[in-house]
Structures are given as structure tokens and as C-alpha cells.
Structure 1
Amino acid sequence: MNRWLRRHVDAIYERVLSREISGAPTHVAVIQDGNRRYARRRGGDAHEGHRAGAKTTERVLEWCQEVGVEELTLYAFSTENFERPPEEREQLFDLLCEKLREFADADRVHENEVRIRAIGDVERLPDRVQAAIDYADRRTGQYDQFVLNVALAYGGRTQLLEAARGVAADVDAGDLEPAAIDVETIENRLYEQPVRDVDLIIRTGGDERTSNFLPWHANGNEAAVFFCTPYWPEFSKADFLRAVRTYEHREESWRRTRARRALALLGALGESDLPEARSVVERFRDSLPSAERPTEEDLREPELEGTEPVAD
């Protein structure tokens, strides 16, 4: 298929996918895999692949805003990446500095009020990268319409371990009661600022694993996961829309499952003291096939025997 025809077919496919999407995930997290393999396939070095991938990152940011995503987290540099060859590592650091400053100064970032921040053990990064992170934070710190998290020197297990150590230290010092430890206690120690639960994880490059990425916010929220074969520089808008559609289908399935479980509970027990189950059915009733959908009468709480309605 020639290039013109390929672009024409892709454009039609994008329009079809766009019409099928009715609701976007709030928080999308992306594992940008395949930059180096993309470069090798084209006879280039790793730096060329990373630079090509940076262009995809810019496009994905725009696509997220188009469909209504409110937070995007990019897995840009993991703790394992410190083991890469020094030359490749330094070139990647230079690119991160360049792009952080470029994004922080971009008109579209300020027009759309995008907050840029880094998550991870940033103190392990070179001073120049830390300076670029601080610059982006100062330039966009007042915004809250869209959040762009850049995961740098990031390891999910490490983040959880440090949070657990902080909680243990507070308990040992008598500043925190064990019975008072809850979800918020851990979340407040993971990052300096709140991170929303992850609704959708996207991984490019063909590997089907989530690589220890945002385990608290993704696994805890049972995030949908979309694996695809294109390398990150090749990731297209059609791929992105397919990922969003995967999230929607998973969300619809989750709603149907919850409604069916609640209906089964009501049917099995027939009790009037199951308000939570009844509430679940009422919330998700429209997600059920019409043949399974209960009526308003079915969901009405039974009146206690021997009682009369109280007149106003």
C-alpha cells in the first residue's frame, strides 16, 4: 500500500474510532517502550530513537486533551535506566533537559494550563536535570486544568518501600497510631502532590508487562491495560484511540459485573437491609442488557409488615 493511501485509510479509521468513544479515562499512564529498537531498525543510534519518541510524546499530550483526559503520566526514566551505557544515559539527560524547558515555555502548555511535574527519586538525577525540573515546576505550578507527570528515576516498589518506612518511623516515634493508618496515610507519603488513580496504562513496543509502574494507583484501581506492538516513535492517534476504547469496554464490563453481583445478592437474600447492593444496581442498571434490567418497582424497598405510610 502506497504512503498516500495508507494515510488516507488511517485518517478514516481515526474518524471511526473517534465516533465510537463516548467517555475518556481521567488518568492515562504510558510506558514509552521501543525507542532504541526503532533507531536500530533504521540504522541509527539510541539518541535518534529517543528524540523521535519525544515527538510522539508531544502528540499524545494533544490527543489526551482532545478526548478529555485530565492527567497523563509518562514513564521517561526508570531506576533501571541508570545501568545503561554512560554515553546513552548522558544524551538522554540532555534531551530531558531540553524537552522539559521547551514544554515549560510552549504557548500551548500555557494556553491549556498544563501543570508539569516530576515524580520519582529526582535527587539521583544530574544537577542539570533537576534544574530543568525546577524550571518547569515554577513556570507551570499555578495551573490545574491538566497535569503532566514525568516519571524520572522512578521505581514503583521503591516508592512503596519508602512510604512504608515513613509510616513505620512515625509509628515508632509515637506520632502515628497503627489503627489510624489508612489509604490516605500511604498516598500522602508517595508523592509531594496528589496523583489520581490510574484508569488506563498504555505500553508500546510489544512487551506485555507493566514494569512496576504506578502500582499503588494502577493496580489498586484495577486499571485497564492496553499493549500494542508499534515502537513508541510509531505510536499513532489510531493506536491511542484504540487504547481509550479498550478502557471504555473494560469500564462497561466492570459496571455490568457489579450490577449482576448486586442483583444476585438481592435475589438470594430478598432482604430490605441491603441498601448498598440496591444502590449499586440503581447506579449501574443502564449497563445491563435490557432483558436483565430490573424495573423501578423491582428496586423499591419493601415496606415493613404492619406499618402504614406516614402522611405529610
Structure 2
Amino acid sequence: MIFRHRILLYNHCKSVNNSKYCNVELNFSLKRIHNTIQNVFYKVGYFCLSLPIISSISSIIQTFVLIILSYGEVPTHLSYIMDGNRRFAKSINQPLKNGHEIGSTSLLQIIHFAKTVGVKHLSVYAFSIENFNRTEKEVQLLMDLLVEKLTDLSQKIADRSNNKHEIFKGIQIKVVGDLSYLSTEVTSKIKEIEKRTTISDPSNVFFNLYICCPYTSRNEIFHSIKANIKAKKQQGDTYDISESSLEREMCLSKYIPTCDYLIRTSGATRFSDYLMWQSHNQCSFVFSDTFWPDYGFRGFVKNMLSYSYFKSLYSWNKVEAFAFKKHSCLLASQLAKVETLKYSVFDSRILEKQIFFPVKIITRALHSGRNNVFYEDLKMAPKAVSIIERN
């Protein structure tokens, strides 16, 4: 099984790294020497990774790690806010289009990683309704790129003759959002893509990919309420507007009602009106500092390990609480020993105080005075702040 996965992942790693290498142009600028150096390192790095020997070694390592992760706790529904394409392009002195191109290649990587570890549903925030406020040229670029990449992916999924495309077997693509914002041509192509990847037998569906475009939670909830009011007028008192009826009419909730793990890249710490309804129940949130085009195997493994660790810890605490209720005669001294042992091993705050906090102090001392901040450059204080108290 590992050998078969390794061959598939080898072809995938090689094509992904080749694509990233080809989408980076060598641009030299003396005015932006730092970006020029990053540009060269990025180009050389992905050239090396696309070499057959290195691709073979990395595919063996990646396959081994992914198979190990598949035996642990993994989210059923994993979601990404793919942010940072434009800032990534600027950081390596590239045109805007190249940043989006490399970002689409990163999505192909994550699809394969998620499918290999056992994630059943992957949703990505591809285009917000608010993004229509961008320039017409950029919006057209994003729409063309979306249709091009999804068409290419759907052809690979539908291709049964080529063994190289076996990693995409059993994937269904659904474009979720308010399609009325899109042109007739784009909408027809999207429906064709969905039709091509639709699998009639549910037992043959191994993975669902949801592309949220154009989408916002406010728009989704608004249309759900509107549909429920319309049904109420038609059916009268026989129709009851409830939480489940609202959920049935939502774009994404009709396929998968909840989200287990939501990750946003690029360092921004906001939701941008994404999956506000679906992330209400036991959803874990992560805000990664990595730009989306740079998000790859290391970032994915780190996030999956974090999810598996805290999910297992949460399950263990529930079992421990149940055992305490069942055996309430346990001595207080024994309970104190259990608590001390548990927190000495698992509590990350102790590790932070003993190891990471001194490292932070040393780092700040070394870098003190290098990043001067002026009062005029500070952002305005927020008008309202929300605080969640956790026991």
C-alpha cells in the first residue's frame, strides 16, 4: 500500500513542484534587493524539489507521515480561507497572476494530503462577494483562473485511463455560493464541471471538494431566511421555521452541516464572513502566518498533529469526567495526584513558561531597536471588543 501511494505521490509532487517552478519568473531589482533574493531562493528551491531524485525521496517521507496521520484523529470537514496570494506575489517580486497561479497549485497539494489522511470533506474560500469591489481586471483574472483550474481538475477526475490521475479518483466538486453574481458563461462552465465529477453511487465517493465562490455567510443566511418565509407563505401554519429548516436552505449546510477545523493563512485573524453558521459547534480555528502559496506539507502536518492532539485530549477529559461521576468515592488525594500528573505532561502553558517564554525574551533582546514603531503608524483602537470566558 505504501509503495502504491509513493508512486502516486511521486508523480503528484513532481508536477506540483514543476508548476510552482514554472510560475516564478526571475525578476531582479536593485531597489527591492530583499524581494529579489527571496525570488531567487524560491525559484532555485522549487527547481531542486522538482528533480526526480529529490521528488522520489520527499514522496517516500510524505507518504509515510500521511499514512501515520491517517490512524489518528482527523477532521471530517476541513476548511481553508486561502489568503495571501497577492502579498506572496509582492514578497517575491512577481506579477499578481503568478501569485494566484501558485496558490491554485497549493490547493492541489492540500486536496491530495487531505484525501490521503482520511478527510471526507474539504471546503475552500475561493472568492468572496466582497471581492467584486476589486478592479475589473483582477476579478476577470480570478474568474478565468477558477474556470481553467477546475476544468483541468475535473478532467483528471473523470479520466479513468491514466494511472497518474488515480489520486483524484472518487472526488466530487461542488461550487457553493450565489451564482447569480457570475456571468452566464462562467455559470454554464461550472455546471458542466459539477456534472462531469458527479458520482451516482454514494459508496464510490471518497472525497468532496466544495469551492465557495462567490460566497459570504450573510448572503447564505439571508437566502435561507428568504426561502423559509416563501415556504411559510405557501404552506401556511403547516410549515415551521426552525433551526433545521434554515440549515436545509443554506448553500453549504445542505451538503455538510458543520465544520470541524477551519484554517486561515497569511496571518490575518478574522473570518471574513465565512462559515459563520457551520463553525458554531466544536469547530477549531487556526490562523497561520504562512501565505497560502507557501502553505504545503509542513503546514498541513503541523495543523493535523495539533488537531489530533487536542481532539484526543478532549476525548480523554470526557472519559475521565465520566469515570469520576461513576466512581465518585475516589479519594481527594488520588484525584490531586492525577491532576498534577496530567497537567505536568499535557499543559502547554507550563512548556511555554519554561521553554518558549525565555526564548521570546532573548529574541526580543537581540532584535530590540530594529523595528521602531511611531505613534502615527499605529492602527485605530476598535470601537467594540468581544470576550469569551472559558472555564
The corresponding residue for 2:173 is 116
How does 1:291-306 map onto structure 2 within 5 Å?
none
Q: Does structure 2 retain, via aligned residues, the 8 Å contact 1:170–1:176? A: no
The corresponding residue for 1:142 is 199
The corresponding residue for 1:49 is 99
Structure 1's 146 and 28: CA in aligned 2 closer, same or farther, altered over 3 A? Answer: same
SS at match of 2:150: helix
Structure 1's 267 and 31: CA in aligned 2 closer, same or farther, altered over 3 A? Answer: same
Amino acid at match of 1:42: I
The corresponding residue for 2:73 is 23
By relative contact order (CA 8 Å, sep 6+), the higher-ranking structure is: 1
Q: 1:187 aligns with which of 243, 247, 260?
A: 247
Amino acid at match of 1:214: L
Structure 1's 256 and 177: CA in aligned 2 closer, same or farther, altered over 3 A? Answer: farther
SS at match of 1:213: coil
- Equivalent pairs counted in the alignment come to 269
Amino acid at match of 1:96: L
Normalised by the length of structure 1, the TM-score is 0.75
Q: 1:213 aligns with which of 266, 274, 295?
A: 274
Amino acid at match of 2:169: N
Return the alpha-carbon distance in structure 2 between the equivalents of residues 241 and 159 of structure 1: 32
Return the alpha-carbon distance in structure 1 between the equivalents of residues 150 and 237 of structure 2: 38
The alignment yields a C-alpha RMSD, in angstroms, of: 3.2
Structure 1's 250 and 177: CA in aligned 2 closer, same or farther, altered over 3 A? Answer: farther
Superposed displacement of residue 187, structure 1:
2.1
The corresponding residue for 1:97 is 147
Structure 1's 151 and 268: CA in aligned 2 closer, same or farther, altered over 3 A? Answer: same
Structure 1's 254 and 177: CA in aligned 2 closer, same or farther, altered over 3 A? Answer: farther
Give CA-to-partner distance per residue, 1:200-220, whole Å, 9 cap, x none. 11111111222222122222x
Structure 1's 235 and 67: CA in aligned 2 closer, same or farther, altered over 3 A? Answer: same
Q: Does structure 1 retain, via aligned residues, the 8 Å contact 2:78–2:119? A: yes
How does 1:164-179 map onto structure 2 within 5 Å?
164-175=225-236, 177=238
Normalised by the length of structure 2, the TM-score is 0.61
SS at match of 2:193: helix
Amino acid at match of 2:114: C
Amino acid at match of 2:199: Q
The corresponding residue for 1:163 is 224
Q: Does structure 1 retain, via aligned residues, the 8 Å contact 2:232–2:241? A: no
The corresponding residue for 2:313 is 253
Superposed displacement of residue 20, structure 1:
5.7
Amino acid at match of 1:46: L
Structure 1's 266 and 206: CA in aligned 2 closer, same or farther, altered over 3 A? Answer: same
Structure 1's 262 and 160: CA in aligned 2 closer, same or farther, altered over 3 A? Answer: farther
Amino acid at match of 1:92: L
The corresponding residue for 2:304 is 244
Q: Does structure 2 retain, via aligned residues, the 8 Å contact 1:71–1:196? A: no
Return the alpha-carbon distance in structure 2 between the equivalents of residues 40 and 102 of structure 1: 27
Structure 1's 42 and 244: CA in aligned 2 closer, same or farther, altered over 3 A? Answer: same
Give CA-to-partner distance per residue, 1:50-77, whole Å, 9 cap, x none. 1110111111111111111111111100
Structure 1's 109 and 207: CA in aligned 2 closer, same or farther, altered over 3 A? Answer: farther
Return the alpha-carbon distance in structure 1 between the equivalents of residues 168 and 197 of structure 2: 11
Structure 1's 202 and 264: CA in aligned 2 closer, same or farther, altered over 3 A? Answer: same
Identical columns (%): 24
Gaps of 5+ in 2: 1-40, 160-164, 330-337, 343-391
Return the alpha-carbon distance in structure 1 between the equivalents of residues 177 and 153 of structure 2: 19
SS at match of 2:269: coil
Structure 1's 175 and 197: CA in aligned 2 closer, same or farther, altered over 3 A? Answer: same
Q: Does structure 2 retain, via aligned residues, the 8 Å contact 1:226–1:246? A: no
The corresponding residue for 2:287 is 227
Return the alpha-carbon distance in structure 2 between the equivalents of residues 156 and 239 of structure 1: 26
The corresponding residue for 1:81 is 131
Q: Does structure 2 retain, via aligned residues, the 8 Å contact 1:14–1:238? A: no
Q: Does structure 2 retain, via aligned residues, the 8 Å contact 1:201–1:225? A: yes
Return the alpha-carbon distance in structure 1 between the equivalents of residues 319 and 234 of structure 2: 45
